[in-house]
Amino acid sequence: MNSSLRLRLLLPLAVFVLIVAFLWVGLSRDPREVPSPLVGKAAPLFTLPQLHASDKTLGTADMKGQVWLLNVWASWCVSCRIEHPLLVELAKANVVPVIGLNYKDKTPEGIAWLAQHGDPYKLSVVDADGRVGIDWGVYGVPETFVVDKNGVIRYKQIGPLTKDALEQKILPLVRELRKA
Amino acid sequence: MMRSLLPRACAFAGALAAALVIAWPAGVLAQADPAFEARLKRLEEELRCLVCQNQSLADSSAPLAEDLRREVRGLAAAGKNDEEIKTFLVDRYGDFVLYRPPVKSTTWLLWYGPFILLAGGGVVWWLIARRRGRRADGDEDDVAVPGATPAAPDAAAATGVARARALLDNPLD
């Protein structure tokens, strides 16, 4: 077999393999997971009223100096229920403070939801009109951010937390950031 | 589940919005400054809704799209230009919100890939054309010249024709 004939036979195979490789990678990705430009940048500042005490506020400044999680949730968000047991478990283990951002919710409904499903949050703050959500680039509740001691976002989980994400990414990252 | 219901929710919200627009008194929409509205519409068509990802901000009726339209309107009313508004959204949601992604190292393949493929196709086409041309030069049989006497079939072709004829005559042999 001469080389030009061999090339002619192998070329379609090579093109096929290339297309398969592209599709394999492309189709296995979740198009809903848009990488956040905020990872590695300073967390957008906010000062918001607390869910359980609307006369008090909590802000990003209050969390300075510690590693913390911001979990965006709402009583209307169905997939929040999926991740909620994990958060409750995490709260029991007392590993890392989790601040809840009650996103575009009605306060009484948010409070009732926590009473029913358990309250894993150190505190929840109210983002009634979703403005802070926009600043944090929230587009699909639930979302969870890891913020370091200097107030820099280090990781963003889009969609419900999973045991895998928590144990393999978030908690090791929290431990590492603690040491820093 | 919220996510799996999203397409349906988007469709429903779209239908609802359409119904609202039809039912809306014409006077309310006409009050606004048409040039400003046209500019907003043009800008929103360039921006992607992150919830209904195949819809622009202008088309989508997802709650987030409504919030972002409100935000865009607010920024535009505050005198920000289109670039500043786009930067505001890109800072929060990334280049993904732009239907026209910027040219940078990570998007080179996206922008220039089609031209590379086109050039590759051109090279293949040229190679094939050259080979055909060379074969036509070397082998007169391939070229039919009107008025010229057909060249005598060579020995191999003649045996082939004879074999084919024999097979047609005695198919059961």
What ipTM was estimated for this complex? 0.81
Residue A145 has a pLDDT of: 96
Structure confidence by residue, pLDDT tens digits, B38-56: 999 999 999 998 888 888 9
Residues within 8 A of A (CB atoms), B 34-63 only: 50-51, 53, 63
- Torsion sign (Cα): B55, B59, B62, B64: positive
Question: How long, in residues, is chain B?
Answer: 173
Question: Rounded distance, CA A163 to CA A77, Å?
Answer: 19
- The three-class DSSP label of residue A139 is coil
Residue in chain B lying closest to A41 (CA): B91
Q: What are the residues of chain A with a beta carbon less than 8 Å away from any beta carbon of chain B?
A: 31-32, 34-38, 77-79, 82, 104, 129-130, 133-137, 139-141, 159
Domain boundaries, chain B: 2-102, 103-146
Residue A152 has a pLDDT of: 95
Structure confidence by residue, pLDDT tens digits, A11-69: 889 999 999 999 999 898 887 778 888 999 999 999 999 999 999 999 999 999 999 99
Which is higher by pLDDT, B11 or A114? A114
Q: Which of A31, A37, A133 sits opposite B53 (nearest CB)?
A: A31
Task: Kindly state the tokens that stand for B156.
Answer: 């191999």
- Which DSSP symbol is given to A128? T
Residue A42 bridge partners (DSSP): A152
Residue A161 has a pLDDT of: 94
Q: Which CATH architecture has domain B2-102?
A: Orthogonal Bundle (1.10)
Q: Which of B3, B71, B93 sits opposite A79 (nearest CB)?
A: B3
- Contacts of A87 by beta carbon, 8 Å cutoff, 6+ apart: A71, A98, A120, A121, A161
Q: Which CATH architecture has domain A47-179?
A: 3-Layer(aba) Sandwich (3.40)
Whether residue B102 is predicted with pLDDT greater than 90 in this model: the reply is no
Domain boundaries, chain A: 1-31, 47-179
Which is higher by pLDDT, B94 or B8? B94
Structure confidence by residue, pLDDT tens digits, B114-145: 999 999 999 999 999 998 988 877 655 544 55
Question: Alpha helices of B24-107 — where are they, by DSSP H?
Answer: 26-30, 34-45, 63-77, 82-93
